[in-house]
């Protein structure tokens, strides 16, 4: 029996805006940050969970974690995990906190940190990685992890069980694939940030090709001429006929008609999909863009979105509207593992591949589990996963890639446990003499202009 006794929040920010890592058409200079939650127990185990943000406002998420986490203090882990669907409903049902959501925005980001911290704790107690807990469940047990409120018009628990049973007979083969690091092919965005120079773009693309990557994503949406030049460089590096796939990401900068016009201009570079062409809330807009781009003179361009999609209800509508070629749920934004399972099942029902959002600190550590669950338990098909090679050195058990595949995590937990030294060094606002944020160097960011 493990009892939850207390929790701690940490505001940890990495100064990535200094070298423009993570820069795109909407987010010119982010400081990759973690609103971090450590769940303490009366055992030797701790649960570590976090939510990803890009800097300012991280303290608001930490503050919201401080309002959600008390809901589990004093509870036994067994009681929490015995009926996860019920627990999840309980965690979103504080009506005063619900008012500042519901199930969206800062309060849902905070829930993601807490729920993922609970899964990390559970996995450590069971001595398994999170993906393996789900892989070892029966279809009925997987479905019991989910709160089906608001999605039964698209997917009932009975249908979900039937879908899982369809792929169950071959599950053991896929567990073996996972054990041999052949479950989740990786793609890279590391070359494609908008703020990188053309020389850096060329060098990084050449390196990525050498490293065995087959899928490459570039940020677009700054200026059309620049994008044409950058995409030409990319195609020169990866070719058109070598089995390499190009994707582009506009990070929400366009209106619906702008997205259609702009992407027709970029169609000659044959991207597989345009990611986040417009507002993340615009279900019908995405459907219109997908329809308009389904038949360009160079072939179809698909539509992908999801990293800022709030919850399973929004994903349900995107899928019902036929708005998605690829679904990119975020491991934190949607409230943690349980809601992710609901979204994986919805995607399976509608036949849309899942490629979780991983462009952020800690996200590849989480999503390697989710994509493995999708392959082994839910879809039974290999998809793809974004691998961004930044900041992994701060984690005890970092995500990594080998021969173009994600190396399946084997350590117990959910893989986001950060090194104590890294937490202290990048703690915000931080302790004088201990945190980088109190150094002279940090003044460039702290006193600098806000980029708009």
Minimum distance of Mg ion from residue 143's CB (angstroms): 30
Minimum distance of Mg ion from residue 308's CB (angstroms): 9
Q: Rounded to whole angstroms, how far apart are CA atoms 262 and 277? A: 10
CA-nearest of 43, 36, 40 to 417 is 36
Which of the residues 48, 357, 369, 394 is marked catalytic? 357
Contact window for Mg ion (CB under 5 A) among 3-11, 274-282, 298-306, 440-448: 274-282
Beta partners for residue 326, in sequence order:
304
Residue 357 catalytic?
Answer: yes
Q: Are strands 273-275 and 4-13 parallel, antiparallel or unpaired?
A: unpaired
Q: Rounded to whole angstroms, how far apart are CA atoms 48 and 130? A: 12
Minimum distance of Mg ion from residue 141's CB (angstroms): 33
Q: Is 219:249 a contact under the CB 8 Å cutoff?
A: yes
Q: Is the peptide bond before 280 cis (omega within 30 degrees of 0)?
A: no
For residues 22 and 398, which CB has a smaller minimum distance to Mg ion in the complex? 22
Q: Rounded to whole angstroms, how far apart are CA atoms 369 and 287? A: 29
Minimum distance of Mg ion from residue 261's CB (angstroms): 21
Interaction between residue 330 and Mg ion (CB under 5 A)? no
Contact window for Mg ion (CB under 5 A) among 87-95, 229-237, 275-283, 414-422: 275-283
Q: How is residue 222 annotated by DSSP?
A: S
Q: Rounded to whole angstroms, how far apart are CA atoms 185 and 367? A: 12
Which of the residues 128, 219, 316, 394 is marked catalytic? 219
For residues 71 and 220, which CB has a smaller minimum distance to Mg ion in the complex? 220
For residues 125 and 293, which CB has a smaller minimum distance to Mg ion in the complex? 293
Q: How is residue 395 annotated by DSSP?
A: B
Q: Is 404:185 a contact under the CB 8 Å cutoff?
A: yes
User: By beta-carbon distance, which residue lies closest to Mg ion?
Assistant: 249
Residues 364-403 that bind Mg ion (CB under 5 A): none
List Cα–Cα distances, 221 to 23, 80, 233, in angstroms.
Answer: 12, 45, 16
For residues 11 and 249, which CB has a smaller minimum distance to Mg ion in the complex? 249
Contact window for Mg ion (CB under 5 A) among 121-129, 180-188, 273-281, 294-302: 273-281
Minimum distance of Mg ion from residue 252's CB (angstroms): 9
For residues 103 and 249, which CB has a smaller minimum distance to Mg ion in the complex? 249
If binding means CB under 5 A, how many residues of this protein chain bind Mg ion? Answer: 2
Residues 236-255 that bind Mg ion (CB under 5 A): 249
Q: What is the DSSP string of 36-67?
A: EEEEEESSS-EEEEEEEE-STTHHHHHHHHHH
Minimum distance of Mg ion from residue 386's CB (angstroms): 8
Residues 50-109 that bind Mg ion (CB under 5 A): none
**Residues with catalytic function:** 219, 357
Interface residues toward Mg ion, by CB under 5 A: 249, 275
């Amino acid at each position: 029996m493990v009892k939850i006794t207390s929790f701690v929040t940490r505001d940890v920010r990495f100064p990535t805006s200094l070298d423009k890592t993570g820069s795109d058409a909407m987010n010119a200079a982010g400081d990759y940050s973690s609103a971090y939650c450590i769940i303490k127990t009366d055992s030797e185990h701790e649960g570590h969970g976090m939510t990803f943000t890009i800097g300012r406002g991280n303290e608001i998420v930490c503050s919201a974690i401080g309002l959600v986490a008390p809901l589990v203090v004093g509870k036994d882990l067994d009681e929490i995990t015995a009926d996860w669907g019920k627990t999840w409903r309980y965690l979103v049902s504080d009506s005063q906190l619900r008012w500042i959501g519901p199930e969206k925005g800062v309060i849902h980001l905070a829930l993601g940190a807490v729920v993922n911290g609970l899964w990390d704790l559970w996995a450590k107690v069971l001595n398994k990685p999170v993906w393996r807990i789900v892989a070892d469940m029966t279809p009925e047990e997987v479905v019991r992890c989910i709160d089906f409120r608001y999605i039964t018009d698209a997917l009932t628990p009975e249908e979900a069980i039937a879908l899982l049973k369809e792929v169950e007979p071959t599950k053991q083969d896929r567990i073996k694939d996972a054990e041999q690091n052949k479950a989740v092919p990786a793609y890279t965005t590391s070359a494609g940030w908008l703020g990188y120079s053309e020389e850096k773009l060329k060098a990084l693309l050449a390196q990525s090709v050498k490293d065995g990557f087959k899928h490459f994503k570039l940020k677009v949406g700054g200026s059309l001429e620049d994008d044409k030049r950058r995409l030409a460089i990319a195609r020169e590096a990866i070719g058109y006929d070598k089995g390499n796939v190009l994707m582009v990401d506009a990070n929400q900068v366009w209106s619906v008609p702008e997205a259609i016009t702009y992407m027709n201009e970029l169609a000659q570079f044959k991207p597989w999909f345009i990611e986040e062409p417009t507002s993340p809330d615009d279900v019908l807009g995405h459907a219109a863009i997908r329809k308009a781009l389904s038949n360009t003179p160079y072939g179809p361009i698909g539509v992908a979105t999801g990293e800022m999609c709030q919850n399973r209800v929004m994903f349900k509508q995107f899928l019902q509207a036929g708005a998605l070629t690829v679904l990119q749920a975020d491991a934190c934004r949607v409230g943690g593992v349980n809601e992710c399972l609901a979204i994986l099942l919805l995607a399976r029902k509608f036949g849309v591949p899942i490629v979780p959002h991983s462009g952020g600190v800690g996200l590849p550590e989480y999503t390697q589990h989710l994509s493995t669950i999708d392959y082994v338990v839910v879809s039974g098909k290999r998809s793809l996963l974004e691998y961004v090679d930044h900041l992994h050195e701060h984690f005890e058990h970092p995500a990594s890639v080998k021969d173009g595949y994600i190396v399946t995590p084997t350590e117990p937990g959910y893989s986001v446990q950060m090194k104590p030294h890294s937490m202290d060094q990048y703690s915000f606002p931080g302790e004088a003499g201990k945190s980088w944020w109190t150094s002279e160097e940090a003044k460039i960011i702290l006193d600098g202009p806000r980029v708009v």
